[in-house]
Amino acid sequence: MIVKMKKITLLIAESYRDDALESLRKLGVLHVEDVKPPVSDDLAAIEKKMENVDKALTVIKIDSDQSAPSDAEPAEQIVEQIITLNHQRETLKRELEEKQEINHWFEHWGNISFSSIQSLRDSGIFVRFYVADRKAFQKIAADKNVHPAGEEQNTVRFALFSESADEKLEFKEEPIPEIEYIELKNEIESLSREIDEIAAKLDEFSSYRDGVKQYRTDLLKKNEFSRVRAGMGEETSIVYLQGYCPAENVDQIKQHATERGWGYIIDDPDDPAEVPTLLRNPKWVNMIKPLFDFMGTLPGYFEPDVSLVFLVFFSIFYALIVGDAGYGLVFLLGTVVLHLKKKDQLKDFIRLMYLVSSVTIVWGLITGTWFGAEKIAQLPILKLFVIEQISSFNPNSGDFIMRLTFVIGVVHLSLGHLITAFRKINSLTALAEIGWVLVLWAVFFVANSIVLGKEMSAATMPLLIAGVALILVFANFQKNIVKGMLLTLGNLPLDIISSFSDVVSYIRLFAVGLATVIVASSFNEMAIGAGIDSVIGGIFAAIILFIGHAINLVLCGMSILVHGVRLNMLEFSGHVGIQWTGKPYQPFKE
């Protein structure tokens, strides 16, 4: 559920500003909102330090077997040294690139002495270096004193000798660099050596990485403190801040403020867009949170919490999309390994993986799907669990499973409207949501008829008429009923068509699940279809099976995100009216 919030305003004597903020941070229940844009010299300085720390962490190595010495310098000085060294290295790299670019000239033209060219110039002989294609070079007038220096594919490099500084050719000129080749080589070697020395010094700082990360954590705390301080409102000798806290913590705020002589104002939130969202669910429901975090989604404060519905249907979608008990077993074993290695971490994610892997195994068990191999499902014990109507290897099961996906879809979307109706229970507009439930079941029967060729149910038209009537009358209910009906009528036809499209879109569960079985079966046939008659053939078959099923598992993972998540985030959310505009509750705390 979404925890109820209260808006809090605290008024504090300016002279106690810092002490009050320290005390409030220790309490750790108030989500602070800026009263004014947070701007201060302290904040700018801290942000600059954080920028340097982030850059330093990208420069030094991640892994190191060395530990930082006990007499290590403060982390701030270490970061400054890393930044300085890295700046020096980047400067040297740019110089090296410039020198290497010059060196390309000598690679093409050879070791030509710049001083020799200058000596010729002083003697009245001028040399210019050109590049041209072969045909153009052959057309140069015979009275021109040109000498080819080399040819690459269709490109000719040549020198023009003349007794006039003004004599030129209409070709691309490549002037000789104003440096001797030996001198250039020495500079390149020197720069490379300096860069390597700096890199070695930076490598030594890898042992300080943990200390630098801790310094970053400290800076984050200082940054938050400075941001809250700079964002406070000011009135003569009084400063004030505003924020939100769970209603259950209001008494803590009151007591805290009273003991310290602060003034306070407690209100109900007036702008839903500004109120942070705090979800609080049982552990078995909270396992869906890692998926919300991964997607970066959170319901708005005044939106419904659909965590339970999301979890139940995501598990079903996961099972139908993967559709293979063998793959479910692989996921389950992987989860066990992760659980053993990360026993105290990723708890919610591990619980989620246990759930979806188990549901996948159950679905694969009753559809007789084990690594896409029909023979495995024919084993005596496993065969007992197969339901023939939905068996993956029953050529007549497709229609039944497609119909099942439509049922899942209409139940899922209907549940969305029922949730909305419950939230509007004190308003007649709730009846419009009931109308949408009736419309959804009507379009379900239409989908069965159009897509699957089933006979249209006699209940279709009554459901559609009753649903449309409820929507027209109550969606925009007002004293002037006709006006409200006209407001609804404008979008109603398109909304009904969209509902039909939404129900039909659940057929993707069947299509993707079928694709998983076909891909697995194809790799099985490729590997062992003709039999295995040698050790090498067995090894080759094993490699094909491993690579093929590994690819299929990756495709399953992608399909879950693309299709399984989409059906919850778009189709279902659209019918519930969730826009996922929430911002997380982040209390000001230590």
Run of H or E residues at 120: helix 114-122
Q: Which residue has the tokens 């309490």?
A: 27
Structure tokens at 141: 């007038």
In this prediction, residue 374 carries a pLDDT of 87
In a shared domain, residues 50 and 20? no
Q: Global pTM?
A: 0.79
Q: Which residue has the tokens 């229970």?
A: 425
Residue after which a domain boundary falls, among 252, 278, 304: 278
Contacts of 161 (CB under 8 A, 6+ apart): 125, 126, 127, 145, 146, 147
Structure tokens at 316: 């079903």
In a shared domain, residues 192 and 94? yes
The residue length of the chain stands at: 590
In a shared domain, residues 32 and 171? no
Structure tokens at 573: 């959310």
Count of CB atoms within 10 A of residue 316's CB? 19
In a shared domain, residues 93 and 120? no
Contact yes or no for 338/297 (Cβ under 8 A):
no
Nearest-CA neighbor of 428 among 349, 481, 377? 481
Number of domain units in the chain: 3
Contact yes or no for 392/398 (Cβ under 8 A):
no
In a shared domain, residues 199 and 171? no
Three-state secondary-structure class, residue 291: helix
Side chain identity at residue 541, one-letter code: A
Contact yes or no for 335/350 (Cβ under 8 A):
yes
Q: How far is Cα 134 from Cα 149, in angstroms, rounded to an integer?
A: 13
Contacts of 62 (CB under 8 A, 6+ apart): 206, 209
Kindly state whether residue 258 falls inside one of the protein's structural domains: yes
Kindly state whether residue 171 falls inside one of the protein's structural domains: yes
Residue after which a domain boundary falls, among 207, 230, 253: 230
Run of H or E residues at 151: strand 145-152
In a shared domain, residues 225 and 119? no
Kindly state whether residue 94 falls inside one of the protein's structural domains: yes
Q: How far is Cα 1 from Cα 169, in angstroms, rounded to an integer?
A: 81
In a shared domain, residues 46 and 95? yes
Contact yes or no for 159/129 (Cβ under 8 A):
yes
In a shared domain, residues 26 and 139? no
Contact yes or no for 105/177 (Cβ under 8 A):
yes
In a shared domain, residues 187 and 220? yes
In a shared domain, residues 67 and 191? yes
Cα angle 175, 176, 179; round to 5? 140
CATH number reported for the structural domain that contains residue 256 in this entry: 3.30.70.100
Count of CB atoms within 10 A of residue 379's CB? 11
Contacts of 73 (CB under 8 A, 6+ apart): 81
Kindly state whether residue 318 falls inside one of the protein's structural domains: no
In this prediction, residue 530 carries a pLDDT of 60
Domain that holds residue 260: 1-36+231-278
Q: What is the pLDDT along the chain (590 residues), one digit of tens a residue?
A: 899 999 999 999 999 999 999 999 999 999 999 999 998 888 899 999 999 999 999 988 776 555 555 556 788 899 999 999 999 999 999 999 999 999 999 998 989 999 999 999 999 999 999 999 989 998 888 888 999 988 888 899 999 999 998 999 989 999 999 999 999 999 999 999 999 999 999 988 888 888 899 999 999 999 999 999 999 999 888 999 999 999 999 999 999 999 999 999 999 998 888 999 999 999 899 999 999 988 888 999 999 999 999 999 999 999 999 999 999 999 999 999 999 887 777 889 999 999 999 999 999 999 999 999 888 888 889 989 999 999 989 888 889 999 999 999 999 999 999 999 999 998 999 999 999 999 999 999 999 999 988 888 899 999 999 999 999 998 888 877 888 788 888 888 999 999 999 999 999 999 999 999 999 999 888 887 766 777 887 888 888 889 999 999 999 989 998 898 989 998 999 999 888 889 999 999 98
Q: Which residue has the tokens 């903020």?
A: 21
Nearest-CA neighbor of 29 among 259, 251, 260? 251
Work out the end-to-end distance of the chain between its first and last CA atoms, rounded to an integer number of angstroms. Answer: 26
CA distances from 152 to 132, 158, 390 (A): 11, 12, 67
Side chain identity at residue 378, one-letter code: Q
Cα radius of gyration (the chain): 36
Kindly state whether residue 295 falls inside one of the protein's structural domains: no
Kindly state whether residue 363 falls inside one of the protein's structural domains: no
Kindly write down the DSSP assignment for every residue of 504-542, as one continuous string: HHTTHHHHHHHHHHHHHHHHHHHHHTT---SHHHHHHHH
In this prediction, residue 63 carries a pLDDT of 61
In a shared domain, residues 273 and 124? no
